[in-house]
Amino acid sequence: MPGMNRRGAFKVAGLAATAWAAAACTGSPRPLLTTPPSSPAPTSAPPPSTSTAPRPPDWNALRDKLNGAVSLPNDRGFAAAHRLYNPAFDANTPAAVARPTTAEHVQACVETASAARIPIAARSGGHSYAGYSAPQDGLVVDLRAMNAVQVNADGTATVQAGARLIEVYTALAAQGRALPGGTCPSVGIAGLTLGGGIGVLTRKFGLTCDRLVSAKLVTADGTLRTVNAQSEPDLYWALRGGGGGNFGIVTEFTFSTEPAPQLTTFNLPFGAGTAPQVLGAWQEWVAGAPAELWSAVTLSARQTSVLSGCFVGTENGLTQQLAPLLRAIGANPTRRVVQTRDYLGAMKYYAGCSGCDPDSVARQSFTASSRVLGAPVRDTGAFAALLDGTSEMDVLIDSLGGAVAAVAPAASAFPHRQALATVQIYQKGNNPQAVARVRDGMAGLGVGGGYVNYIDPDMPDWAGAYYGANQARLAETAARYDPDAVFGFAQAVRA
């Protein structure tokens, strides 16, 4: 875990800005949602089915509407334009890549794809665990030029959907504000939010989607809708954890923020053979830890382990909180790295960079999946042994609880509110067989479910794993607003 990028621990399914595709601990936090929003009929009528014979896309007309910002396969620079973070998807060649700069441009893209019945996916960060943001023979809507971040007088932040995390954090920190979110600097804010949004301030200030006040969304009929608790409440519910790409393309978010905190970060590696005892002690301790303390356990081959996290408070306060855990582990870390940082410094630390130019992040081939730790795993030895024989694989277990658990599972589309932690299986290189073996081995030990932002094209019962009891309402919402499945893909929510 050197550099604390954590091998993608918070990368999102980079449908980044489609409603799929792919925080401070001081001051008074804004109240989080604790009851589900009501579900009256939408304030504007959902689109009727418009099934007609598809017609070939008129790329020249779309190019005219976007002031030339449409790339086709024979155009110079097309290979770079459609490229994702993961080289494994380089062969996924879309029919076109559009680079809108306004909501009206996005509407034109949706109308073109809808009329032609071709796949469409939006992205802001270029990350995708399953490649859905580079649809074969479809239209990629690359929103990265729409990346403005504005901090408002009331403490909210208006963020365009193409902004990436380090851009958001830098703009907020300049105004003394913070937003809970992930760590990889080049991940898009949109995909992170739409799938839930876990990160190092999750326990104190909730998921990123818990901070969503409103959004502007282009639905399948080309309408730009304002979505919040009063306007389009079912869509507002679905956008908070229902994954990107199921309902439309978000062009803008408004978030509640917090005063930027001071954070004490820590990194405690343990030697070979310690994984069962570190995991066993941690999972019993973490449920009682204060919301100010976020922590994670990373397990690797040879059953090595790393305990890491951050505390909204002083180093002395952190030491007091960790003392009972270290006693329960019964082994000393091989080193101790602890430092107090400001908010932006902490975000750069976890990103593993100093300047953090999101366009300079090195591409990396990987295979990944996830599970959700609903309760302490009984046989930590068997759990750790799943990594025996692996090479360059990490299992990253990130604590939930705190503010996440204060929201009812049905209050938003994110269903894992009462879980102990999310579990990411991250394999460097292309090795789906190894990932599947560990993923399915966890299920055999009672660790099921999955996190939609770590989308896995081979996940068994993916709808149940990602959405649980919320999948029926998600499917109804998708059918109402997208009856012709314009935003369809391999794991799209559909009735």
- Work out how many domains the chain is built from and give that number: 1
Contact (Cβ atoms closer than 8 angstroms) between residue 477 and residue 234:
yes
Q: Is residue 221, in this structure, part of any structural domain at all?
A: no
28-35, long-range: CB within 8 Å, 24+ apart, which pairs? 29/204, 29/205, 29/258, 29/403, 30/155, 30/256, 30/258, 32/206, 32/210, 32/403, 32/406, 32/407, 33/210, 33/407, 33/411, 33/412, 34/406, 34/407, 34/408, 34/411, 35/408, 35/411
285 CB-near residues (< 8 Å, 6+ apart):
324, 325, 328
pLDDT score of 49 = 56
Q: Angle, nearest 10°, between helix axes 165-174 and 343-351? A: 160
Identify the segments of the chain with pLDDT beneath 50. 1-5, 7-44
Write down the pLDDT at residue 22. Answer: 31
Dist. CA 157–CA 149, nearest whole Å: 7
Give domain status of residue 249, yes or no. Answer: no
Of 140, 142, 144, 143, which Cα lies nearest the Cα of 57?
Answer: 140
pLDDT at 54: 85
Q: In what order do the strands lie in the sheet with 156-160?
A: 149-151, 156-160, 249-256, 212-218, 224-227
Q: What CA–CA distance (Å, rounded) separates 417 from 408?
A: 7
Query: What is the C-alpha separation between 370 and 372, in angstroms, rounded?
Result: 7
Contact 248, 110 (CB under 8 A): yes
Task: Provide φ and ψ at 256, rounded to 5°.
Answer: -80, 145
pLDDT score for 50: 54
In a domain, 487, yes or no: no
Structure-token match 């301030």, residue found:
201
The burial class, CB within 10 Å (0-12 / 13-18 / 19+), for 74 is exposed
Task: Report the pLDDT value the prediction gives residue 448, as an integer from 0 to 100.
Answer: 98
* SS3 of residue 328 by DSSP: helix
* Structure token digits, residue 348: 């750069």
Q: How far is CA 180 from the centre of its chain?
A: 12
Tell me, what CATH number does 454's domain have? 3.40.462.20
Q: What is the pLDDT of residue 40?
A: 36
**Parallel, antiparallel, or unpaired for β 212-218 and 177-178?**
unpaired
What is the amino acid identity at position 442?
M
Task: Kindly state whether residue 367 falls inside one of the protein's structural domains.
Answer: yes
Task: Give dist(CA 118, CA 466) in Å, integer.
Answer: 26
pLDDT of residue 131: 86
Residues paired with 378 in a beta bridge? none
- Which ranges constitute the DSSP H helices of 75-188? 78-81, 103-116, 165-174
Residue-wise pLDDT for 433-444, tens only, equals 999 999 999 999
pLDDT of residue 205: 98
- Find all residues with CB under 8 Å of 88, minimum gap 6, and list them: 131, 365, 366, 367, 430
Measured CA to CA, the distance from residue 371 to residue 396 in angstroms comes to 10
Q: Is 228 helix (H, G, I), strand (E, B) or coil?
A: coil
Show the beta-strand stretches assigned E in 248-351: 249-256, 258-259, 262-270, 293-300, 305-311, 337-342
Q: Note the pLDDT of residue 19.
A: 32
- Does residue 206 form part of some domain? no
Output DSSP code: residue 217: E
Residue where the block lists tokens 């990396």: 364
CB 167 within 8 A of CB 149: yes
Q: Which domain holds residue 301?
A: 261-468
382, part of any domain: yes
Asked if residue 63 belongs to a domain, the reply is: no
Residue entry with tokens 């101790």: 336
Cα 332 from chain centroid (whole Å): 33
- The position carrying tokens 């995909």 is 191
CA distance 318 to 378: 28
Residue 324 lies in a domain: yes
Tokens of 262: 């001071």
Residue 36 and residue 43: Cα distance in Å, rounded?
A: 18
In the block, residue with structure tokens 């099921």: 448
